[in-house]
């Protein structure tokens, strides 16, 4: 795909309601490579830009299962295979006693999987990003809402797209340099 | 907030005072960190607790030099202050996780303004707690033998021991609380990054924020991960104090060998935890003028939680006492007798007063909504919960099966220095926290505003 | 401490620099390890020593006082390094290994050798075997072949090993405190001795403790032949004067009385504490007594009438606590009761009934009963006892008379009195004190100390193990050789002679008493070996002396030296009244301390920390006061009281002792030493102040006044009753003979069935399939609470002494303790002893909770404790229902003092700070025997493998062995119906079990017992 | 707002996070290696000795049996270090002038012991018994290695607990006939060099080992891996 000097076009909105409707219309207009930014989570927004499957849950589940089996097998191996000892006449495989650690390991692995999974899927850390080139974007973490159409979108055309965005009555429109 | 609050507000205080916008919330909270100059009050407190932390280090140094013998522990009372403090601190930690995780699952929006520093409190409390199991070892420099690592002895930890469970439970708890707290911070760190005038501040917050830019996709994954973490932290927090209670319940000692322990330890933990939350929240909201965000509603609710958990704890005591009599096991009945008439009876009476008697004032709204009174109640409860652990550990140990091996336990100055030292360290860390991180979750506060609602565009 | 400076000055006027030297010694007592040695070299006369002192010692002293110092700091560094997780990378330092130049043939490195020898106290020997590792004696055991020991020992014998290695032992010969050589002493001594020759030694006085050594007696004779006018005195603070006087009274000659307790169905003790160490023949008596306590055979019955609560009284079937003076009356009543004309004693009601009942029983046991009078009773009581035994036809049956064991059976009090008057009269030119410490323990009225330091005695020489109070007042002090360092011989209570052979060359070139006496009779170069051997060469008529000699050394005694019974006839029986008892006034009783005796063991840490049998007191000698009397006086334990007797008074703390007779105060001798050493100095209170020659043992008219203030006492037992306020705890299961016959398995209620468990057999750990499963049975009926097992264990297992302060904090380290419980009326209680080692539970609660698996089970059912794995959570101890685990809260072991390094058992790890430890059933012995058995391809035979506590138990109360072998003694005992597990209801499956205690009360006297139990039942 | 960070920081930040994982695990791995390294275990490291005594020379060169010097090895836990006398038995006759042996002669003259550096040095809390190992058919060089090829003595094995356990968990892997215990050239049986014993021939260690385990009545694995076997 040919590289354009422009990263995308960004429109700024004042309220959650505006950005959500704007995003919906952009998506309906056939733009696919789009994104929206808000200072707090807005469930409708992701829907609006057509983002549905996030995949964190799966990662977490895998992590959890790993922790669970890993935890129990570790204990089983230690007390039955590696060095079986007679501890107070208790059975080698004292599974009731092993439950606790198994449980803790499950939680630990699941938790870490959730966090790092989320970061990885979000491609974080990413301290540099073109959108930060837009001065107004600083308000994305305060009280402003932004919609962006990436230049990589098939339907993207610097003139057409700008006109389309204007039709959404944003506070302002700015071009995001790559 | 002063007692003369408008009647309206008293009837049903909101979780956030009217008249705030996204901008005002953001500015007010972030300015505490970015704009507000260092106050003398802060410096004094910071310095003072810094000194106490030094005392802690001194006590620890001497401990490593001479051995645990400098404490009051002996045979039969092999565990003294160290374990008492450990359980106490762990318990305190629990409130943080409860507020941030369980209340989140329960959709209790009022949590949003207190969860941040409650979680910080959890971290510091668990850090304090974590010290003790290590310090109370006879040979602390071998603590790592409690972890399974491929060593040249080909020998492993003994996973039937509750102490190993502790190691895993506490370290898991600390790790999860830490990441939970941290990802909660990410969006706010981004906010600070974008607000900071100082280049270096911007840098640091920027690195920590990891380039968060609030993309809708990110938010969706973020929310999911946060929810899952909450879902994981909830059973975790319950398990941790259950495991701690196993330290006692698994032993065969009269007074320890009880099935009631897990539930009533957890309840007790939350009980003391909320007490600590209030003891921190009440002065902070005054000092930093955050009455708008930490409103009487929060105090009221926390007080109610304390009342509820307090009653569960009371029930726990009742069952213990009843079983002592009903079981017909004369060791248990003697334990009860010993608590009531033995040499440590006063600790038991004091505990009954602090944990059951006095907190009943919380039935009255005007105790729940008067910050000063609430502060006192919390202090009393914290003392009571410490005493509870003392009663469980020491009274059970000092007179067990064989009358010939009965003994007494007298804490030494080193016991006290270590205990007070950890309190100092706890507050020291907390002072640091309020200076450099937003003590209230900004982005979650934003969601509390009415305009955060997306109105259906027709 | 400072007053000692003053004192020494007035003691030796004109003695140059005395103050500094006192200061030096004082500091020496405070310093430890390397410093101590260095100082000694310096003491050996370098010029700039004194100014060095002031630079060196404060450092040393402060180091001992709190261990934060160079060494301590290094430890800190070590610890912090380690904390950085670096332990993995800290490497073992290179160790040297030093072979012999010429290795003695009999030595096999790594295997101990055993030598027969004998420990003797007051002239009475305990035959022993001494374990030696490459020439270092490390453990003392009873000589099982010897008829007197039968393997048993007493606490003093066991602990005498520590005296050998005592770093405070006097290590040089001194003149006025300055070190001198032996040769310079000879030079200085030669003149005065020679000048006595013309006077026939009129100015020579020799003072010894009482002894039985034939060789020494012979030397004495030849010395007295050489110097006919010289005098030889004997003094023993805890003497047997009244025993011999009693015999004199009864038979006209001093005779030794032996008892055959195995033949006695009825034993009556008149204040005789014959079931505790120190009593002549204790080891044998304990064995014989125990042999008759089997409830399934014919059981003996013991009555004890005593004036102080003792372990003997605790074992009595009927015990009558009365004032000491009362006992004479009791004896009279008893005697006339069986037809001896002794005049009726004035007795109270109950006492009279008691006496009558005993009388009736004695009459029905002609020839099978015995009456034993205590050493502390006046001669007349002994005479009465003799008369009673004669009347009952016990003589020749249960009572045997022989020649006295003591070589000089004179009245030691009179002997010392004569000496003092001679000293005062200036008749003494040279006083030679061979052993003992009269300056400390002589009767107060003699003023021996003042007489000694007065210029009237121009030459004073002291031979002794310690630079003690007496040595300080003498010009010359010669450091004596310990009995494990020197040759000698001695008699057991039955006269049998044992050769004392040295295990090690004298550590500090000490001289033995034989060598010193040889010097007196002019053979300055004679060694102890030559003296002793020469003497026996004379005695031995037979041809092959070497054979005889080797045999004697090997067996530990000399064939045919046992005394033959004497026929003695009673003189005209009149029994002069000695004391009039008035029960109104308070009586004072002097007793030797059960742990440190007359003070000779006060620098012995093992004994100082040994819980005394009835009070469990350590490190102190509070007075005994009965509960009722305490209530009257309004005092309780640890209160300070002032005792005032005949113008003399002292302050002492109170111990309220159950079973102590009313209106009687017992004070224990041996404490309050001022020059004992770092362990003995300054502990307890000196009771000799009140004791004078007229009242060696007891006297009426004591005033007890409560004064303000209190004094902390260190008792190791938390509570002395088995019953808590709620619920009785049948820790010691006991009943009387009739009940036992009715319901023999009474002890086994609550004993869970073998199959009552949820746990399957752990694979590979099926004990029933093992060749060995170790177990122990402790017969509470046999145990006489003599504490011997505790010291034996301490010596075998390198157990640390922690000191009074730590004991007070509940940190004493004894692996094996003996609990003493009192039941019923505290003024007339029934008392029980219960030795408690590790129970080695099969379902051990301690193991489950150990996070690092430092304590797990062996396949033979041992509860292994792995010190080097322990991180010290103390969870195991918390979860141990028997509280037998011990923790090194601080660094209790002394790692510096070189002597202690020599003393330790090389087969047992020396535990360091922060580690849990406990009884291991002497795993080192088990392993050694297993290895040897496997090499020989034979199973370990029952009885050949013995734990330390079992080996030297005089009463055979502790039986250890293989419970998988149905024919082993332990298996048989565990099969008995009275076998029970302590706290069995917890189902911990202890390998150590107990045989319930069965008493054999006299039906006639039952009402007393029932009265007691009535009180008990209302207590509970 | 302006960019705070340069483009490259993205890669850097990810690299650091990712790398951290490796750094930590590498450090851990190193620690474990060090614990087992000759630096800590001295395995294969010759010690400084007062006299450069060569086992190679005396054992393979002169064919002196181990027991000539280590006399107590069959009867005691401790094999024994030869007294100076033992050296002088020969060296009073041969090499009487060798300067190298002066310390020995001096020790003999002055009756002062030679101070050697201990080579196979177990921690003090480990109680090893030579006699029983020899009795059960564990060869000298199984633990001490090719002593007959050691000009300077060093410990062959790490003497770590895991090393002891290797054998205690499967003794059959190392047992040999008692007669061969002191044979430094003994080879474990292979098909082409079988070992004959009691009229049977064994062509592999496994079968021989299992046979000896029975014959020498070795205790079970559980027995000899119990803690009190070595620790007291």
Cross-chain residue pair D1–A83, CB shorter than 8 Å:
no
Q: Which of A127, A133, A138 sits opposite D9 (nearest CB)?
A: A127
* Residue among C349, C371, C347 at smallest CA distance from C581: C347
D-chain residues within 8 Å CB-CB of C924?
Answer: 127, 232
Contact C844 A91 (CB under 8 A): no
The percent of residues in chain C predicted with pLDDT above 70, rounded, is 89
**Confidence at residue C894, expressed as pLDDT on a 0 to 100 scale:** 87
As given in the structure block, the two tokens for residue B208 are 């920590």
* Tens-place pLDDT, residues C818-851: 999 998 888 889 999 999 999 999 999 999 999 9
Contact C924, C905 (CB under 8 A): yes
pLDDT of C89 higher than 50: no
CA nearest to D117 within chain C: C96
**Is residue C493 predicted with pLDDT exceeding 60?**
yes
Q: Which of A78, A117, A125 sits opposite B210 (nearest CB)?
A: A125
| B142 vs C contacts (CB less than 8 Å) | 82, 87, 871
Confidence of residue B2 (pLDDT cuts 50, 70, 90): very low
DSSP state of B145: G
Contact A132 B228 (CB under 8 A): no
CA distance linking residue C282 with residue C288, whole number of Å: 10
Phi, psi of D51 (to 5 degrees): -125, 130
Half-sphere exposure of C259 (CA within 13 A, CB side): 31
Residue B200 vs residues B206, C320, C411: alpha-carbon distances, Å:
9, 91, 99
Q: Please give the pLDDT value at position C261.
A: 93
Which residue from D10, D165, D225 is facing A127, i.e. has the nearest CB? D10
For chain B, the residues whose C-beta falls within 8 A of a C-beta of chain D are: 149-155, 193-194, 202-203, 206-207, 210-211
**Nearest Cβ partner of C857 from A86, A91, A92?**
A86
Reply yes or no on whether the pLDDT at B15 is more than 80.
no
Q: What is the pLDDT of residue B380?
A: 95
Strand order in the sheet with A6-13: A34-37, A145-150, A6-13, A172-177
Question: Using one digit for the tens of pLDDT, what is the confidence trace for A137-178?
Answer: 888 888 888 988 888 888 888 888 888 888 888 888 888 887
Contacts of B195 in chain A (CB under 8 A): 141-142
What are A59-69's pLDDT values in tens digits?
999 999 999 99
Tell me the nearest-neighbour CA distance from A74 into chain B, angstroms: 9
Partner-chain contact D1 A132, CB within 8 Å: yes
Residues 697-726 of C with CB under 8 A from B: 717-726
B204 is written with which tokens? 């640091």
Average pLDDT on C11-18 reads 34
Burial classification of residue D166, based on how many CB atoms lie within 10 Å of its CB (0-12 exposed, 13-18 middle, 19 or more buried) = middle
Interface of C with D in 934-963 (CB under 8 A): 934-935, 937
Q: How many CB atoms lie within 10 A of CB B14?
A: 13
**Mean pLDDT over residues C355-364, rounded?**
91
Query: What's the Cα-to-Cα distance from C760 to each of A69, A88, C534, C766, C857, rounded to whole Å?
Result: 25, 12, 69, 10, 15
Burial class, B44, CB count within 10 angstroms (exposed 0-12 / middle 13-18 / buried 19+)? exposed
Answer yes or no: is pLDDT of C23 > 60: no
Give pLDDT tens digits for B173-212. Answer: 999 999 999 999 999 999 988 888 888 888 889 889 888 9
Give the neighbours of chain D: at least 3 Cβ pairs within 8 Å: A, B, C
Rounded Cα distance, D37 and D220, in Å: 31
Of A35, A42, A107, the CB nearest to B172: A107
How many Cβ atoms sit within 10 Å of the Cβ of residue B367? 17
Q: What is the structure's pLDDT at A55?
A: 87
Please give, rounded to a whole number of angstroms, the shortest distance from the CA of B199 to a CA of chain D.
Answer: 8
Q: Nearest chain B Cα to A91, which residue? A: B160
Collapsing DSSP to helix, strand or coil, C589 comes out as strand
DSSP code string of C406-431: SSS-S-HHHHHHHHHHHHHTT--SEE
Residue C22 has pLDDT above 80, yes or no: no
Report the chain D residue with the minimal C-alpha distance to residue A120: D14
What is the chain C residue with the closest CA to D89?
Answer: C102
Which of A76, A86, A95, A100 to mutate: most C Cβ within 10 Å?
A86
Mean pLDDT in residue range C212-223: 93
Residue numbers in A near B453 (CB within 8 A)? 16
Predicted confidence at residue A9, as pLDDT, reads 87
With contact defined as beta carbons under 8 Å apart, do C714 and C611 qualify? no
Give the tens place of pLDDT for each residue, B111-149.
Answer: 888 888 889 999 999 999 999 999 999 999 999 999 999
Residue C36: per-residue pLDDT: 38
Q: How many Å lie between the alpha carbon of B199 and the closest alpha carbon of chain C?
A: 36
Best of B140, B141, B244 to substitute, by most chain C Cβ atoms within 10 angstroms, is B141
Q: Which residues pair with C656 in a beta bridge?
A: C625
- What values do phi and psi take at C266, rounded to 5? -125, 125
Determine contact: C108 vs chain D, CB below 8 A.
yes
Which residues on B lie below 8 Å from A39 (Cβ)? 22, 26, 187, 191, 214, 443, 446
> What's residue C3's pLDDT?
39
The pLDDT value given to residue C9: 33
Task: Answer whether A37 sits within 8 Å of B220, measured CB to CB.
Answer: no
**CA dist list (Å): D229 to C853, C860, C927, D128:** 15, 11, 7, 9
Secondary structure class of C40 (helix, strand, coil) = helix
pLDDT value, residue C1014: 47
Percent share of chain B, pLDDT over 90: 60
C927 conformational bin, left if phi > 0, alpha if psi -120 to 50, beta if neither: alpha
Report the gap between the CA of C763 and the closest CA in chain D (Å): 9
Nearest-by-Cβ selection for C853 from B157, B333, B405: B157
Residue pair B399/B102 in contact (Cβ under 8 Å)? The answer is: no
3-state secondary structure of C879: coil
Give the pLDDT of residue B97: 87
Strand order in the sheet with C476-479: C178-180, C173-175, C476-479, C459-464, C430-434, C204-208, C231-234
pLDDT score recorded for residue C872: 94
Name the band, by pLDDT with cuts 50, 70 and 90, for residue C90.
low
In this model, does residue B5 exceed pLDDT 50?
no
Nearest to A128 among D1, D3, D17 (CB): D3
Length of chain A in residues, anyone?
178
Q: Average pLDDT, stretch C29-36?
A: 42
Chain D residues in contact with B154 by the CB 8 A cut-off are 161-162, 165
Q: Which two tokens stand for residue C67?
A: 């261990």
pLDDT, one tens digit per residue, over B239-291 is 999 999 999 999 999 999 988 999 989 999 999 999 999 999 899 888 888 88
Neighbouring chains of A at 3+ CB pairs under 8 Å are: B, C, D
CB contact under 8 A, A16 and B453: yes
Of D3, D13, D165, the CB nearest to A132: D3
The pLDDT of residue A177: 83
Distance between CA C575 and CA C552 in Å, rounded?
A: 44
Ramachandran angles phi, psi of C835, nearest 5°: -70, 130
> What confidence score (pLDDT) does residue C582 get?
65
Interface touch B154/D161, C-beta < 8 Å? yes
Rounded Cα distance, C642 and C445, in Å: 20
C108 versus B160: which is more confidently predicted? B160
CB pairs under 8 A between B and C: 212
Task: Give, rounded to a whole angstrom, the gap between the first and last alpha carbons of chain D.
Answer: 71
Give the number of beta-carbon pairs within 8 Å between A and B.
210
- According to the model, what pLDDT value does residue C68 have? 42
Phi-psi region of C356 (alpha: psi -120 to 50; beta: other; left: phi over 0): alpha
- For residue C879, what pLDDT band results from cuts at 50, 70 and 90? very high
Give CA angle at A52 (A49, A58), nearest 5°. Answer: 150
If you measure CA to CA, which chain C residue comes closest to A93?
Answer: C762
Q: Report whether pLDDT(C315) > 90.
A: yes
State the average pLDDT over residues C791-802: 94
Residue B307 is predicted with a pLDDT of: 94
Q: CA dist C250 to C383, C387, C568, C576, Å? A: 5, 7, 9, 11
Strands of the C318-321 sheet, one edge to the other: C318-321, C301-306, C266-270, C369-373
Residue C66: pLDDT over 60: no
What are the 10-residue block averages of pLDDT along chain D, 232 residues in total?
A: 78 88 92 87 88 91 91 91 91 89 91 90 91 94 92 91 93 93 91 89 92 93 92 90
Task: Give ipTM to 2 decimals.
Answer: 0.91
> What mean pLDDT, rounded, does chain A reach?
88
Query: What's the mean pLDDT when you consider all of chain B?
Result: 89
Three-state secondary structure call for residue D162: helix
- Measured in angstroms, the CA of D37 and the nearest CA of chain C are apart by 9
* Chains touching B by CB (3 or more pairs below 8 Å): A, C, D
Nearest to D9 among A128, A133, A137 (CB): A128
Q: Do C719 and B404 touch (CB under 8 A)?
A: yes
Mean pLDDT, to the nearest integer, of C165-193?
91
The four Cα atoms B127, B132, B134, B137 give a dihedral, to 10 degrees, of 180
C912 Cβ under 8 Å from any chain D Cβ? no
Q: What are the beta bridge partners of residue D190?
A: D193
Q: Does D18 touch chain B (CB under 8 A)?
A: no
Task: Say yes or no for a CB contact (<8 Å) between C890 and B67.
Answer: yes
pLDDT of residue B103: 83
Q: What is the pLDDT of residue C16?
A: 35
Identity of the residue in C80, C724, C871 whose CB atom sits nearest the CB atom of B137:
C871
């Amino acid at each position: 795909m040919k590289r354009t000097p422009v990263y995308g076009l960004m429109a700024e909105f004042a309220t959650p309601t505006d950005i959500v409707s704007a995003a919906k219309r952009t998506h309906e207009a056939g733009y696919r490579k789009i994104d929206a930014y808000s200072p707090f989570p807005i469930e409708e927004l992701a829907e609006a830009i057509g983002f549905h499957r996030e995949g964190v849950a799966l990662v977490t589940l895998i992590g959890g299962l790993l922790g669970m089996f890993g935890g129990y097998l570790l204990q089983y191996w230690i007390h039955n295979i590696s060095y079986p000892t007679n501890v107070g006449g208790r059975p080698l495989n004292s599974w009731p006693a092993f439950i606790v650690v198994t449980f803790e390991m499950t939680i630990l692995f699941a938790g870490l999987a959730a966090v790092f999974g989320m970061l990885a899927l979000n491609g974080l850390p990413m301290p540099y990003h073109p959108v930060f080139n837009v001065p107004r974007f600083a308000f994305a973490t305060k009280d402003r809402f932004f919609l962006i159409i990436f230049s990589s979108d098939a339907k993207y055309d610097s003139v057409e797209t700008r006109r389309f965005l204007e039709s959404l009555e944003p506070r302002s429109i700015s071009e995001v340099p790559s | 907030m002063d007692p003369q609050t408008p009647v309206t507000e008293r009837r049903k205080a909101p979780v956030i005072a009217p008249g705030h916008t996204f901008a005002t919330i953001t500015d007010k909270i972030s300015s505490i960190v970015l704009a507000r100059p260092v106050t003398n009050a802060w410096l004094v407190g910071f310095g003072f607790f810094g000194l106490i932390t030094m005392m802690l280090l001194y006590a620890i140094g001497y401990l490593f030099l001479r051995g645990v013998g400098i404490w009051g522990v002996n045979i039969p009372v092999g565990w003294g202050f160290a374990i008492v403090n450990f359980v106490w601190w762990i318990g305190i930690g629990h409130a943080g996780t409860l507020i941030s995780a369980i209340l989140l699952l329960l959709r209790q929006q009022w949590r949003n303004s207190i969860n941040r520093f409650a979680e910080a409190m959890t971290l510091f409390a668990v850090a304090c707690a974590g010290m003790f199991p290590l310090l109370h070892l006879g040979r602390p420099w071998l603590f790592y033998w409690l972890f399974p690592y491929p060593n040249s002895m080909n020998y492993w930890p003994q996973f039937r021991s509750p102490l190993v469970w502790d190691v895993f439970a506490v370290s898991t708890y600390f790790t999860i609380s830490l990441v939970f707290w941290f990802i909660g911070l990410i969006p706010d760190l981004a906010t600070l990054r974008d607000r900071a005038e100082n280049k270096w501040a911007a840098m640091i917050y920027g690195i920590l924020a990891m380039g968060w830019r609030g993309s809708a996709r990110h938010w969706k994954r973020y929310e999911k991960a946060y929810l899952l973490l909450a879902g994981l932290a909830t059973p975790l927090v319950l398990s941790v104090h259950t495991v701690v209670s196993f330290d006692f319940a698994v032993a065969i000692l009269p007074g320890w060998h009880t099935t009631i322990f897990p539930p009533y330890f957890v309840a007790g933990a939350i009980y003391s935890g909320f007490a600590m939350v209030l003891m921190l929240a009440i002065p902070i909201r005054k000092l930093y003028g955050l009455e708008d965000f930490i409103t009487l509603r929060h105090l009221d609710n926390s007080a109610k939680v304390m009342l509820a958990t307090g009653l569960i704890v009371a029930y726990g005591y009742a069952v213990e006492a009843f079983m002592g009599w009903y079981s017909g096991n004369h060791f248990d009945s003697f334990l009860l007798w010993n608590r009531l008439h033995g040499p440590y009876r006063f600790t038991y009476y004091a505990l009954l007063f602090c944990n059951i008697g006095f907190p009943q004032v919380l039935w009255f709204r005007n105790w729940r909504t008067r910050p000063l009174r609430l502060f006192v109640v919390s202090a009393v409860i914290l003392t009571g919960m410490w005493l509870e652990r003392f009663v469980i550990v020491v009274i059970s140990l000092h007179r067990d099966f064989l009358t010939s091996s009965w003994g007494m336990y007298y804490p030494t100055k080193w016991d006290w220095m270590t205990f007070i030292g950890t309190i100092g360290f706890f507050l020291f860390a907390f002072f640091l926290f309020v200076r450099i991180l937003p003590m209230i979750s900004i982005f979650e506060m934003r969601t509390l505003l009415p305009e955060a609602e997306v109105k259906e565009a027709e | 401490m400072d007053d000692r400076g003053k004192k020494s000055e007035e003691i030796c006027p004109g003695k140059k620099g005395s103050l500094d030297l006192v200061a030096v010694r004082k500091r020496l007592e405070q310093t430890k390890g390397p410093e101590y040695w260095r100082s000694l070299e310096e003491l050996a006369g370098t010029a700039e020593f004194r100014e060095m002192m002031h630079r060196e010692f404060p450092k040393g002293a402060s180091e001992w006082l709190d261990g934060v110092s160079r060494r301590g700091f290094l430890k800190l560094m070590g610890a912090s390094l380690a904390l950085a997780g670096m332990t993995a990378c800290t490497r073992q330092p290179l160790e040297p290994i030093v072979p012999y130049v010429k290795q003695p043939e009999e030595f096999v490195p790594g295997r101990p050798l055993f030598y027969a020898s004998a420990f003797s106290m007051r002239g009475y020997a305990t035959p022993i075997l001494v374990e030696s590792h490459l020439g270092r004696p490390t453990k003392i055991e009873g000589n099982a072949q010897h008829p007197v020991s039968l393997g048993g020992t007493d606490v003093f014998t066991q602990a005498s090993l520590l005296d050998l290695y005592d770093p405070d032992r006097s290590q040089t010969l001194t003149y006025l405190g300055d070190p001198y050589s032996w040769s310079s002493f000879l030079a200085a001594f030669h003149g005065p001795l020679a000048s006595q020759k013309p006077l026939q030694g009129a100015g020579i006085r020799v003072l010894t403790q009482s002894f039985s050594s034939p060789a020494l007696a012979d030397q004495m004779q030849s010395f007295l032949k050489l110097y006919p006018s010289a005098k030889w005195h004997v003094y023993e603070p805890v003497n047997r004067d009244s025993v011999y006087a009693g015999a004199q009274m009864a038979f006209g000659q001093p005779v030794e009385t032996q008892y055959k307790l195995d033949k006695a169905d009825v034993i009556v003790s008149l204040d005789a504490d014959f079931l505790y160490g120190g009593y002549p023949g204790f080891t044998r008596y304990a064995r014989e007594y125990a042999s008759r306590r089997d409830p399934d055979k014919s059981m003996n019955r013991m009555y004890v009438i005593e004036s102080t609560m003792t372990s003997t009284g605790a074992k009595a079937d009927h015990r009558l606590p009365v004032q000491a003076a009362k006992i004479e009356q009791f004896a009279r009543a008893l005697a006339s009761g069986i037809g001896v004309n002794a005049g009726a004693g004035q007795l109270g009601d109950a006492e009279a009934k008691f006496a009558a009942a005993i009388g009736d029983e004695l009459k029905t046991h002609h020839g099978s009963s015995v009456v034993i009078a205590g050493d502390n009773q006046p001669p007349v009581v002994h005479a009465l006892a003799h008369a009673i035994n004669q009347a009952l036809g016990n003589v020749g049956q249960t009572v045997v008379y022989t020649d006295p064991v003591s070589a000089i059976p004179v009245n030691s009090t009179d002997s010392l009195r004569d000496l003092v008057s001679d000293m005062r009269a200036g008749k003494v030119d040279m006083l030679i004190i061979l052993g003992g410490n009269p300056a400390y323990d002589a009767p107060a009225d003699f003023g021996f100390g003042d007489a000694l330091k007065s210029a009237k005695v121009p030459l004073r020489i002291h031979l002794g193990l310690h630079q003690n109070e007496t040595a300080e007042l003498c010009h010359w002090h010669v450091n004596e050789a310990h009995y494990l360092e020197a040759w000698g011989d001695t008699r057991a209570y039955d006269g049998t002679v044992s050769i004392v052979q040295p295990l090690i060359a004298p550590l500090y070139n000490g001289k033995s008493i034989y060598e010193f006496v040889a010097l007196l009779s002019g053979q300055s170069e004679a060694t102890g070996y030559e003296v002793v051997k020469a003497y026996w060469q004379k005695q031995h008529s037979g041809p092959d002396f070497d054979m005889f000699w080797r045999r004697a050394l090997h067996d530990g005694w000399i064939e045919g030296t046992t005394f033959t019974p004497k026929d003695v006839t009673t003189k005209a029986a009149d029994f002069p009244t000695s004391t009039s008892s008035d029960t109104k006034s308070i009586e004072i009783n002097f007793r030797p301390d059960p742990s440190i005796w007359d003070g000779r063991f006060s620098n012995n840490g093992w004994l100082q920390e040994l819980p005394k049998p009835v009070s469990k007191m350590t490190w102190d000698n509070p007075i005994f006061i009965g509960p009722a009397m305490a209530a009257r006086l309004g005092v309780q334990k640890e209160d300070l009281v002032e005792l005032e007797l005949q113008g003399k008074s002292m302050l002492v703390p109170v111990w309220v002792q159950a079973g102590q007779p009313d209106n009687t105060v017992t004070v224990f001798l041996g404490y309050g030493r001022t020059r004992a050493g770092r362990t003995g100095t300054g502990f307890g209170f000196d009771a000799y102040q009140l004791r004078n020659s007229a009242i060696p043992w007891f006297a009426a008219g004591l005033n007890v006044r409560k004064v303000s203030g209190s004094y902390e006492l260190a008792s190791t037992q938390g509570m002395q009753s088995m019953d808590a306020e709620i619920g009785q705890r049948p820790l010691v299961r006991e009943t009387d003979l009739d009940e036992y016959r009715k319901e023999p398995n009474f002890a086994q209620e609550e004993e869970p069935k073998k199959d009552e468990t949820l746990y399957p057999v752990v694979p590979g750990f099926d004990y029933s399939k093992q060749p060995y499963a170790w177990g122990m049975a402790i017969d509470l009926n046999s145990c006489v609470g003599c504490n011997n097992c505790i010291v034996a264990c301490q010596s075998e297992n390198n157990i640390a002494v922690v000191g009074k302060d730590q004991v007070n904090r509940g940190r004493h380290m004894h692996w094996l303790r003996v609990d003493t419980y009192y039941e019923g009326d505290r003024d007339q209680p029934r008392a029980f002893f219960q030795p408690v080692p590790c129970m080695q539970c099969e379902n051990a609660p301690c193991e489950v909770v150990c996070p690092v698996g430092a304590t797990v089970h062996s396949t033979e059912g041992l509860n292994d404790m792995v010190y080097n794995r322990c991180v010290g959570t103390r969870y195991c101890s918390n979860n141990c229902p028997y509280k037998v685990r011990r923790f090194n809260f601080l660094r209790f072991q002394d790692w510096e003092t070189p002597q202690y390094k020599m003393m330790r058992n090389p087969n047992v790890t020396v535990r360091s700070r922060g580690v849990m430890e406990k009884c291991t059933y002497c795993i080192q012995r088990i392993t050694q025997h297993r290895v040897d058995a496997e090499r020989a391809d034979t199973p370990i035979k029952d009885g050949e493998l013995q734990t330390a506590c079992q080996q030297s138990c005089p009463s055979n109360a502790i039986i250890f062995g293989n419970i998988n072998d149905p024919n082993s003694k332990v298996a048989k005992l565990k099969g008995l119906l009275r076998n029970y597990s302590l706290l069995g209801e917890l189902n911990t499956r202890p390998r150590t079990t107990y045989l319930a205690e069965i008493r054999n009360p006299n039906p006639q006297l039952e009402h007393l017992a029932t009265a007691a139990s009535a009180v008990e039942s209302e207590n509970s | 707002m302006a960019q705070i960070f340069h483009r490259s920081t993205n890669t850097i930040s990810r690299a650091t996070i990712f790398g951290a994982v490796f750094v930590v695990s590498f450090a851990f791995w190193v620690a474990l290696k060090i614990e087992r390294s000759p630096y800590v275990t001295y395995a294969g490291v010759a010690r400084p000795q007062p006299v450069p005594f060569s086992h190679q020379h005396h054992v393979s060169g002169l064919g002196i049996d181990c027991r000539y010097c280590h006399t107590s090895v069959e009867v005691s836990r401790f094999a024994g270090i030869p007294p100076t006398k033992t050296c002088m038995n020969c060296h009073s006759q041969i090499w009487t002038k060798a300067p190298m042996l002066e310390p020995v002669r001096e020790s003999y003259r002055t009756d002062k012991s030679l101070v050697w550096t201990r080579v196979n040095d177990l921690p003090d809390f480990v109680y090893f018994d030579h006699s029983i190992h020899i009795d059960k058919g564990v060869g000298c060089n199984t633990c001490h290695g090719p002593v007959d090829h050691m000009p300077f003595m060093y410990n062959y094995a790490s003497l770590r607990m895991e090393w002891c356990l290797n054998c205690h968990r499967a003794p059959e892997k190392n047992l040999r006939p008692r007669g061969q215990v002191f044979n430094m050239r003994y080879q474990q049986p292979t098909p082409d060099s079988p070992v004959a014993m009691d009229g049977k021939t064994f062509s592999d260690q496994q079968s021989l080992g299992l046979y000896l385990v029975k014959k020498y009545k070795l205790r079970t694995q559980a027995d000899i891996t119990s803690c009190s076997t070595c620790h007291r």
